Each structure stands twice: as structure tokens, then as C-alpha cells.
Amino acid sequence: MKKKVVSLLLLIICAIVTGIAVQQYSGLLYHSPIIAVKKVQKQNDQIKISGQLMNQGKKNLTLKVDTHAVSALTIDFKKGQQLLLNDNKEEIIAEKQDGIVISLLVVFVGFVLILGEITGGMALLGLFLNLALLFILLKLDSFFGGIPTLGLMFVYGTCSIVITFLANYGIKAFRVDLIVTTCATVFGGFLICWLALKVFENNGIRFEEMQFLTRPYLGVFYGSLLIGGIGAAVDMVVTLVSSLKELVNQQPHITQKELVHAGRRIAQDVTSSMINVLLFAYLSGSIPMLVFYLKNGWPFISTLQLHLSLELLRAFCGAFTILLSIPASLFCVILERRRKT
């Protein structure tokens, strides 16, 4: 225990040092101009910023920023900041904060490896492979416009489930029935939402937030529905199967009826919390836009319809997937038990 505490303290110190180093010296790797602020002066409706470029010649530079632009950027300028500029070096795009991001990333990875050890490392490997696969498929989608986005997401969904189960169970304990069952629950939850949208002809669904897309938005939205159900299905199946297998190991002579009853009880304990987490995870991303529209006088009901319809539908798709995972997990445990007897 003491070794883990010492390791965590060293990890935090390492993360802070790494973040400071990245914040100070990573500017040389950026293509966009970056200015290190040395002096800030307020003059009527303008803010005068003096500093030195961290890349592209390290020249001294002075900017004049309108106070209205500052409020839009939500940046409070002060000495020591690093700001990303446009190519003309006349406008501020954002504040450079990669040092903080790297520090948090180091802490996250370190905590998972220290506390989770081999299991944590495998989980991180699965996460990295899933992200890499998603980026590759998204690149394919951007380069080849003729490939249907939904088709690529079906490929990603199947591969992602396989990768996740390999990361959790390893090759030796790899089970095809779990893979097939989880894929069926994900596609089943997606199919329920897809059929409902088709039957009601998308009535009540507002797609305004996707209007910036340069390709058919329905394929992209259906793909996001599919991806949203993957994590929920995998988590539910892993939780139920692991709990039921442990129960069977502790009580080898448990009857099938008792096993089903135990699975229902575990599902009741887990389902509501998982659906709540899923719901709030989707809705939390819409809060800034909700506040923005309400502060600018938009009607309450119209604002909710505009920004929450897609998020609620994603949450419902994940909820259906969680519910379908319960009988699917029970089926896999019962099938494995019968195979062993």
C-alpha cells in the first residue's frame, strides 16, 4: 500500500513537471503562430497585448483586441499566457493549454496502470486500439465520400466489441458467444430506434445542430446512435457475466431458476444507475448551448426541443441496448454452464 502511495505522489510530480515542460517548449512544434504574453493594457474598448512569438522567428508582436471579442473567447488575458493566433497574426484563436492536457493525461494513464496493474494496462490498450480504429475509419469516410458512414460504423461496432472483449478477457478466455450476443444487443437497440424514426418520419427530431455537415446528416446521426450503444452493451454484458460466473463458482449446485432470479436481481441493481449515467453523459454536453439560448431570450420549450432531441434519442438507444443485454448475458452464462456439465 505504501509503495502505491509513493508511486502516486511521484506520478503527480512527474505529471506537473511534464506539463510545465510541454507548455513552455511545445510551441516550436505548432504550425500556427503562438505569442507569449508579456504585457496587457486596457484602452477604452480595446485591449493591447504585447509579447513575443514562440515560433516563426520569435519576433516581438503587439495585438489590439476588441473587448467584445474577448467576451466571446472567454479568455482573461494576463502575463505569461500563450495564445494561438491566426495565420495573419492579427486575431486570437484560443489559449494554448496543451501542458494541462498532457498533465491530466499522464495522471490518468498512471493511475490506471498503478491501481489496475495488468488489467488496467489491457484496458488502456483496448481504449487506444478502439480510438485508432475509429480515427482510421473516419479518415476513410472523409477521403472516400461514396462509402456510407453507417456501413463504416457497423464495421467499427463489430471490431470495437471484439477488441474490448480481448482486452478484458484475453485470448485464452475469448468467447465467441459473448461477441455475437453483444453485437446482437447493440444492433437490436439501434434497430428499435431506427424503426421508430422511420415509422414516425423523424417527427419531433431537430437536426439543426448538424446543419454544418457537408454530407447527408442521417447517416452520420445513425452512426452516432450505433457507437453510443457499444459502450453501454459491453459494460452491461461484462458486469452481468462476471457477477453470474462468480456466483456459479461459489454455488456450483445453483439451479437454473435461481440463476435467472439472481441475474434479474443484479440487473435491477445495475441498470438504473447505468441508464442514469448514460442519460446525464449525453445531456451534459448540451448545457452550454441551452444556457446561451435561454440567456438570449429563446422560449424554454423550443430551446429544449432544439438541443435535446438528438441527445435524448442517443440516450434511449443506449438504454434499449442495456435492457437487451440482460437476457443476452443470462443466455451466455446458462449456455456456458450447460456446455461444462
Is the pLDDT score of 122 beyond 60? yes
Q: Indicate the helix (H) or strand (E) that contains 3.
A: helix 2-25
Tens digit of each residue's pLDDT (9 = 90 or more) over 230-255 = 877 887 887 888 888 888 888 878 88
User: Closest by alpha carbon to 87, among 34, 26, 23?
Assistant: 34
**Are 157 and 234 contacting, i.e. CB atoms less than 8 angstroms apart?**
no
Give me the mean pLDDT over the 201-218 stretch: 73
30-47: average pLDDT: 82
CA–CA distances in Å: residue 12 to residues 15, 19, 106, 168, 307: 5, 10, 8, 27, 38
What are the cell numbers at 296? 438570449
pLDDT band at residue 328 using 50, 70 and 90 as cut-offs: confident
CA 181 to chain CA centroid, Å, is: 24
DSSP state of 31: S
At residue 75, does pLDDT exceed 70? no
What number is the average pLDDT over the span 90-114? Answer: 86
pLDDT band at 1 (very low <50, low <70, confident <90, very high): low
Q: Which residues sit opposite 82 in a β-bridge?
A: 36
Please determine, for residue 69, whether its predicted confidence score (pLDDT) is greater than 60.
Answer: no
pLDDT tier at 341 (50, 70, 90 boundaries)?
A: low
In this prediction, residues 151-165 reach a mean pLDDT of 86
Average pLDDT value for the chain: 81
Confidence (pLDDT) at 70: 53
- Higher-pLDDT residue of 307, 15: 15
Helix 98-143 vs helix 2-25: angle between axes, to the nearest 10 degrees?
70
Structural domains present in the chain: 1-99 (2.40.50), 148-340 (no CATH)
Q: pTM, whole model, 2 decimals?
A: 0.71
Instruction: Identify the pLDDT of residue 74.
Output: 57
